[in-house]
Amino acid sequence: MKLEELTLEHAPAFLAMMADFCENDPVIFARYFQRKSDWNELEFKKYIKECDAARMDWRPKAKKTSRSHYIVRENPATIIGYALMQFPLNEISELDGGNLWVAVPPKMRGKGNGSFCLSLLLFEAVRAGLRRVLVTCAFDDPISRRIIEKNRGEFVDQVKSPLTKANNEPIARYWIHFG
């Protein structure tokens, strides 16, 4: 299992992962993956174009954020984790989102996949030249907090999320330092 950049080749596995999120974790699906149109091959192709446009390699232009989208596959048909690396931080990602984000499909949870995927993403962050990364999660999500702490995350503080205007949920912020 390795971290792979999301490409058109991943369409069947990605669409299966979206169906899993939609059916078994509608909150995460609605917050991060829902689109104006239902997920299908055409929508996935559009998403890949958006992902490619958001990636600016290792040196984003001024006032721009580079976003790289990754997956970790157990086999060609099964994604065990979806990951995002973004930098530099901006005023929103400093409070909610951070540099790294990992989502494990509901059917793949409880097997150590979240910790494994975050550790792979940390290596990619080092390759990108980052000296430390900010990782955030819901303050009241003990599983996500444990995953971050298992990967050397140091709790910084609790803030209100600017992304969830309805309930302004509390966010736990962690720094992970390299070297």
* Euclidean distance between CA atoms 140 and 143, whole angstroms: 9
* Euclidean distance between CA atoms 53 and 50, whole angstroms: 5
- What is the homologous superfamily of the domain 3-177 according to CATH? Gcn5-related N-acetyltransferase (GNAT) (3.40.630.30)
Banded model confidence at residue 31, pLDDT cuts 50, 70, 90: confident
Region of 11 please: left (phi>0), alpha (psi -120 to 50) or beta.
alpha
Question: pLDDT digit string (tens) for 60-115?
Answer: 777 888 999 999 999 999 999 999 999 999 888 898 889 999 999 999 999 999 99
* Count of alpha carbons within 13 angstroms of residue 77, beta-carbon side: 0
Q: Which residue type does 157 have?
A: D
Domain ranges of the chain: 3-177
